[in-house]
Structure 1
Amino acid sequence: MGILKKEENGLENLEKITHVENVKLSEDGKNVIIIDQTKLPNREEYLTLHTAGDLYEAIFELKVRGAPAIGICAGYGIYVLARQIETEDYDRFLEEFRKYKEYLDSSRPTAVNLSWALNRMENVVTSHSDLPVSKILKLLEQESRMIQEEDIRMCRAISEFGLSLIHDGDGVLTHCNAGPLATSQYGTALGPLFLGKERGMNFKVFADETRPLLQGARLTSHELAKSGIDVTLICDNMASLVMKNGWIQACFVGCDRVAANGDTANKIGTSGVAILAKHYGIPLYVLGPSSTIDLNCASGEDITIELRDADEIKTKFYEEPMALPEVKCYNPAFDVTDHTLITAIVTEEGICYPPFTDSLAEVFRKKRS
């Protein structure tokens, strides 16, 4: 794949970035293979995941991250684990399957794609109770592959819709990472930029570093730079200044869960970007597949926010601690952007505008039809 070769440049490298195989099922179907995103951009290392513990750790430790990529990994992962259930008795198989499902589902509470993919795989098992377990396993493999194939199509459609919202030469601010590493191909929030580049368009992108885990610095700026897209990395607290300078014409962010009213959970700091964009009259677009929309969640008040370890703030990227051991830390992984701050939500079914209670519901009416 070679996405880290420094001598490569231009459009030939763009395809390597947009079509990176960051999550895949091994040829024999016994393992999930992922790029360890915690090692990027300095090292490209692959991990082979086989046990429930391997899969849980990979998701929890953000070795695989990005809502769609987590869902794809979960789909493949639960299939790999299902193969390890040594019984032909359906009731026993279902019992063991659900244990694995509940365990994986507990790894990250905020990203809805995790539970969405696991529920989808469970539905394959429960809706085919009349079949032998061996046949159910084949259907599970098909479904897991379908989850990824659908994500590829959705990201391409999102990229097309998102590209219609910006113009050649625009300045775009991003937060966190919603590129190919977080999905399958092209990405969501970064997808329009890659697609535009393919078509000869040029953008000036300002990428928030996205503290404390630096997904913008380590992943977004890496993907954009290696693709030949003009990217400038900034600290999170510099977003206001670049907006004030008139360098930003649109903000593109991803999403981990969208409530029925349009409130959106995304990486911590997104809400602040939205508030600044509103102040400076800059449109803020949320881009994500319909699988991140949770119509059972009425508003952002109902979204569980994952709290992570204090050492991610104090020690993770430092040779020495940046705070005393006794200093308390508050480390939420996500925040919720109020729907009133969002200009539009871009899905594979089209661009949803306020009122989001109507336009998001219409997305699912389209899918059902």
Structure 2
Amino acid sequence: MADQYAQTREDNRLAGTPVIRWEEPPEGPVVILLDQTRLPAEEIERVCTDAPALVDAIRSLAVRGAPLLGIAGAYGVALAAARGFDVDEAAAALTAARPTAVNLAVGVRRAQSAHRAALAETGDTGRAASAALAAARGLHEEDAAASARMAGHGLALLDELLPGGGHRVLTHCNSGSLVSGGEGTAFAVALAAHRAGRLRRLWVDETRPLLQGARLTAYEAARNDMAYTLLTDNAAGSLFAAGEVDAVLVGADRIAADGSVANKVGSYPLAVLARYHHVPFVVVAPVTTIDPDTPDGASIEVEQRPGYEVTEFVAPQVPVAGAGGGVPVAPLGTQAYNPAFDITPPELVTAIVTEEGAVSPVTAKALADLCAKPRRAPVG
């Protein structure tokens, strides 16, 4: 079933428009998403009444970002259960929607397992649906708490690596409150530095071809009154050469057991630049992004996006003409290479910051020890 409606929010404050929420109107439960494809021009909400609608929202990037995808996946399972659809079928479709982001599968499994356990124990489909929803809400709360802890650990690491403050940080893609139950991952660290008076400049890669940096990170930076500057992706090298970057902060969609990091395409070149210029390259992600079942970077499935994202320019409120809904910028029939992610090997990563602390140097043993730590109870 397609989304039933989209509602324009009159109050265009980020804090006033939740990124994701569960509601139960008279016609039945729904998952409501802030449609990130419409930002920054307008804040529009998409209402998903079933798992296929949520799968479409995930694939179209209306909802995106590894931690938030986990939350969305869990709510999707709860939605299928509450509306009486096949839960296992919904779980399979949700998991396959974006294969690289491991958090999506983690969130789906968590709600699915809670549903199965309750159904086996009670035989009551209503109680099983409630268990799935409780699991999704629990994951949502835990991610918000993890975000706050990551920000604290990340700021402490920055201060250790760069004594004296005045940090000039380069970030790629979007890793703020739009990808999280809280204030994000890498962006949350930069925001903590800003609030502490220790952020001199946030350099924002535009992040082609879908411009998540230009549309989303700049949007969040502006709303938090941060000192930020937007740059084209291919201008980053000149910034490093000029000595204008003190650290690179990025998120992650999957971290393999050996410490290889899958993140938005363009992250690997930044890691190479950072290593050459002796600049720390720091990955910030929750422990759920570490996948011990993926041994190394070569084992990570990298999502290939449609070619029209490269051959056409798509932006909110721009007249459309191309097959993908955008303005053609390449000759008709042009083939495009469009991986959504690239892989940064562990030897190029200065540190991985999680809610349980930072790992540096990044090794398989250090990550395994981190994952073996008992998880903290959610705050709230």
Regarding TM over 0.5, the answer is yes
Contact between 2:17 and 2:34, CA under 8 Å: does it hold in 1?
A: no
Distance 2:11 2:280 in 1: 32
What amino acid sits opposite 1:30 in the alignment? P
Deviation at 1:348, TM superposition (A): 0.4
String of CA shifts for 1:189-227, please: whole Å, max 9, x gaps. 010122233333333011100000000000001111221
What residue in structure 2 maps to residue 99 of structure 1?
A: 89
Distance 2:50 2:113 in 1: 22
Distance 1:47 1:235 in 2: 30
Contact between 1:264 and 1:338, CA under 8 Å: does it hold in 2?
A: yes
What residue in structure 1 maps to residue 229 of structure 2?
A: 232
Deviation at 1:355, TM superposition (A): 4.3
What residue in structure 1 maps to residue 68 of structure 2?
A: 69
Distance 1:126 1:4 in 2: 40
1:217–1:71 distance in 2 versus 1, CA, 3 Å: same
Could you tell me the percent identity over the aligned residues?
36
Distance 1:355 1:339 in 2: 6
Task: Say which of 259, 274, 288 aligns to 1:262.
Answer: 259
Counterparts of residues 62-141 of structure 1 (less than 5 Å): 62-85=61-84, 96-128=86-118, 129-131=120-122, 132-141=124-133
Normalization by structure 1: what TM-score?
Answer: 0.90
Distance 1:368 1:155 in 2: 14
1:281–1:4 distance in 2 versus 1, CA, 3 Å: farther
Contact between 1:186 and 1:195, CA under 8 Å: does it hold in 2?
A: no
1:240–1:279 distance in 2 versus 1, CA, 3 Å: same
What residue in structure 1 maps to residue 55 of structure 2?
A: 56
Distance 2:226 2:143 in 1: 24
Deviation at 1:172, TM superposition (A): 0.2
String of CA shifts for 1:121-165, please: whole Å, max 9, x gaps. 121123331212222122111111001000000000000001112
Distance 2:24 2:148 in 1: 25
1:368–1:153 distance in 2 versus 1, CA, 3 Å: closer
Contact between 2:100 and 2:301, CA under 8 Å: does it hold in 1?
A: yes
1:63–1:206 distance in 2 versus 1, CA, 3 Å: same
What residue in structure 2 maps to residue 205 of structure 1?
A: 202
Root-mean-square deviation (CA, aligned residues, Å) is 1.8
- Which deviates more from structure 2 when the two are superposed, residues 27-36 or residues 242-251? 27-36
Distance 1:119 1:351 in 2: 26
- After TM superposition, where is structure 1 displaced by more than 6 Å over at least 4 residues in a row? none
What amino acid sits opposite 2:64 in the alignment? R
- Which deviates more from structure 2 when the two are superposed, residues 134-143 or residues 104-113? 134-143
What residue in structure 1 maps to residue 33 of structure 2?
A: 34
1:3–1:155 distance in 2 versus 1, CA, 3 Å: farther
SS of 2:259's equivalent in the other structure is: coil
Number of equivalent positions = 349
Normalization by structure 2: what TM-score?
Answer: 0.88
Deviation at 1:27, TM superposition (A): 4.4
- Which deviates more from structure 2 when the two are superposed, residues 206-215 or residues 73-82? 73-82
Distance 1:203 1:112 in 2: 33
Contact between 2:150 and 2:357, CA under 8 Å: does it hold in 1?
A: yes
Contact between 1:20 and 1:181, CA under 8 Å: does it hold in 2?
A: no
Contact between 1:20 and 1:185, CA under 8 Å: does it hold in 2?
A: no
Deviation at 1:4, TM superposition (A): 4.3
Distance 1:347 1:142 in 2: 24
What residue in structure 1 maps to residue 322 of structure 2?
A: none
What residue in structure 2 maps to residue 89 of structure 1?
A: none
Gaps of 5+ in 2: 1-8, 160-164, 320-326
SS of 1:203's equivalent in the other structure is: strand
Distance 1:203 1:256 in 2: 27
What amino acid sits opposite 2:356 in the alignment? E
What residue in structure 1 maps to residue 4 of structure 2?
A: none
Deviation at 1:3, TM superposition (A): 7.5
SS of 2:182's equivalent in the other structure is: coil
Q: Does 1:356 align with 2:363?
A: yes
What amino acid sits opposite 1:257 in the alignment? R
